[in-house]
Structure 1
């Protein structure tokens, strides 16, 4: 399952978008992906560093910029309270260099 999520993330972030502008929606049905915020680094699929500067948010970096304007977002995400509903498990980091995708040995061979 996690390898499928990794592949989906790889495809998603391999687009030509110059930034990862994210719009947070209140409606699951209009989201591109469903995310769950975890407090544990070890269970996260993506470690996200939030920036206030749109040009810092580069593709495949894990550095995200949240926009209030839906039309300028690269991706629309719905945050769920249930881990089992999520496409991604997100861990927020305060350290920019930690941002990115995780890879775990148990995913190998699945």
Structure 2
């Protein structure tokens, strides 16, 4: 499986999407994620939106062009055992702000 890195930034302003940015190195991440084959195997479901206003709940992410637009980093790993938090201090960022 290929390795992918993302930066996930969440705006505290109400009704804003959780923002995602692709990065190059796993050392930049605070959360390691493993992609599963089936929805029933997932602990967290994610959907990418094209516009911020399309996001209305947890798990709806907006890709952004610049890393500076994001503040939460995730890395997709190739092994389930590597999945988990690198820094639990940012767990609250996975919650959608209404």
TM-score under structure 1 length normalisation: 0.55
The structure with higher relative contact order (CA 8 Å, sep 6+) is: 2
Unpaired runs of 5+ in structure 1? 1-12, 89-100, 102-110
Partner of residue 8, structure 1:
none
The one of 60, 78, 81 equivalent to 1:81 is 78
Deviation at 1:74, TM superposition (A): 3.9
Partner of residue 69, structure 1:
66
Partner of residue 92, structure 1:
none
Deviation at 1:71, TM superposition (A): 0.6
Matched residue SS, 1:47: coil
Partner of residue 5, structure 1:
none
Partner of residue 21, structure 1:
19
Unpaired runs of 5+ in structure 2? 1-9, 86-94
Deviation at 1:27, TM superposition (A): 1.1
More helix by share: 1
Deviation at 1:24, TM superposition (A): 2.5
